[in-house]
Structure 1
Amino acid sequence: MLSNTIQNPLEVAHSQNKSVLDVLILDDLEADRMRVRRFCRKAGLDFELHEAHDVASFRQCIDSQKMDLVFLDYHLAMENGLDALQLLQAQEDQIDAIPIMITSFDRYDIAVEAMRAGCADYLTKEELSVDSIRKAIISAFERRILISALNESHSSKHALRVSISRIAKTCGPEIREVLAATLRHVRTLRSADMLSTNVKSSLGGLEKPCGQLYAFLDEISGLLEVEKATAFRSTPPQSLRSPRAAVSAKL
């Protein structure tokens, strides 16, 4: 696995042929921006910092500079991080920017919504640390490297597509049902007063990966639907095909 070979965010940045990263932090609280900045430094990042306290200043930042990493606070004064994420994704120059959502509360529904919308990861402010920042950054860059490698490997695309399609059509729906039931059960247990703090914390640790896996399966299903629609649009009508193509299609 890539995580066994890349242990430092700087090594990941170097593998992308860039030693200094442009990092943008969106948070309406200056203290929280300073906290993220401090953890990024301690995690080993060499970066140029850009800060925004609201969506308007965030827009100015992404209009003027191409970003590598973008930390988005979900809870802003009058907006939320998803509004900023939409702006980021609408910018052609920011197509390679890696967004990471930061939330004040450990809620799986926000996490799933953020990752469905395109975030590479999400962190709660309570769990922010050098280690969690490092892991999130490494995972995000590893995902970019993996996607890039898959895009360049034309020979393996068909086999990968078949495998993903098989998963989505066979066990995918059943797994999503199991995950949804598990998440509902976990939330019910966590709301019970009889459980100890340690047990509730353990249940919280189960809830996050279940939510991430549910979002991943949902993303696969969405990609297959997009691919199916694209293939349908690119297929010429029967009347426009050449005689040879029509014969081949029948065979």
Structure 2
Amino acid sequence: MRMNSLMESKLDILIIDDDETDRQQVQRLLDDEGMNVSIHEAEDCSSGIEKIKSTKIDCVLIDYKLPDATGLEVLEKLRIVDRSNVPLILLTGFDDVKLATEVMKKGASDFLSKRKLHGVDLVRSIKKAVQVRSFEKKVYAAEQALAESEKTYRTIVETVSDVIFRLGSDKKVEYINPAIRFFGYDPGELIGHSIDKFIDVSSDDQDLISKIATQSVGPLATSNMEVNIKESIIEGEKRLIPVLMDAFGLWDVSDEEVFKNNGEKNYMIS
């Protein structure tokens, strides 16, 4: 539904071609197909780049042979100055599979022959290029939001006074926050080791590690479990410091699936 609304809105199309007849032909093809567009024109690479810098452009149609650059050179120059990565479609007066492959590798959205150019194909190519770019923008925005969220989460985890650590599916430490320094450990020295390096498992509860590396559904969740952290000291008697611990599993399947299979899981403990 969003894709359709995108295509119904007016698109700003830039045609970079030194041949006025060819520019008019492209515009006529788009008009005949009833495509809602606003056409911008440039006769060479330099003026085309200036248009892109000064105007919101949704898609660029580029002639392969321009007075001041080839199509490949235009692609390279545009990618340097255009931070929005506007879709680029190359138009050429001849068929060349090798050239088509090369320009696609350089970042062109499509490669069309002027001699075989039909309105339906041109419109389809533009719509696809704009849709792909719109999707890429959404993915990028989501990735940026996720990165910011992870940054905020890490800042919180690394500044709280509670010890927080993560175990991998092998039940070894993958991450532990700086709060562990309170007990005399450097976080780096515990990565890759079993939790018995800093948690006492010599008590009567032989199933302690399994309880810590638990699943967080139903009765399998671990909450307010008392464990003893071994204080790391250079000299003297090593103390055991009692703490309360919560643990839960991390996975990307439903709780039902967690119960049914014993696949690899990660665990977060605090």
TM superposition score normalised by structure 1: 0.53
Counting aligned pairs with the same residue, the percent is 30
Matched residue, 1:243: 186
1:78–1:90 Cα change, 3 Å: closer
Amino acid at match of 1:97: V
Q: For structure 1, which runs of at least 5 residues remain unmatched after alignment?
A: 158-241
2:68 paired with 1:74: no
2:101 paired with 1:112: yes
Amino acid at match of 2:15: I
Higher Cα radius of gyration: 2
User: Is the CA contact (8 Å cut-off) linking 1:68 and 1:96 kept in structure 2?
Assistant: no
Q: Pairwise mapping of residues 212-227 of structure 1 onto structure 2 (< 5 A)?
A: none
Amino acid at match of 1:79: A
1:123–1:246 Cα change, 3 Å: farther
Kindly provide the CA deviation profile for residues 5-35 of structure 1, in whole angstroms up to 9, marking residues without a partner as x. 96x7xx4334xxxx22221101111111111
Query: How far off its partner does 1:149 sit?
Result: 4.8
Q: Say which of 9, 13, 16 aligns to 1:26.
A: 16
Amino acid at match of 1:123: L
Q: Say which of 59, 62, 72 aligns to 2:52.
A: 62
Q: Pairwise mapping of residues 91-240 of structure 1 onto structure 2 (< 5 A)?
A: 91-92=81-82, 95-151=84-140
1:152–1:76 Cα change, 3 Å: closer
Residue correspondences, number: 154
Query: How far off its partner does 1:119 sit?
Result: 0.9
Matched residue, 1:12: 6
Question: Distance in 1 between the 2:112 and 2:93 partners?
Answer: 9
User: Is the CA contact (8 Å cut-off) linking 1:40 and 1:134 kept in structure 2?
Assistant: yes
Q: For structure 2, which runs of at least 5 residues remain unmatched after alignment?
A: 147-184, 195-270
Query: How far off its partner does 1:45 sit?
Result: 2.3
Query: How far off its partner does 1:58 sit?
Result: 1.5
Question: Distance in 1 between the 2:189 and 2:14 partners?
Answer: 54
Q: Which has the higher contact order (CA 8 A, sep 6+)?
A: 1
More strand per residue = 2
RMSD: 2.8
Q: 1:13 aligns to what SS in structure 2?
A: helix
Query: How far off its partner does 1:78 sit?
Result: 4.5
Matched residue, 2:32: 42
Query: How far off its partner does 1:63 sit?
Result: 2.8
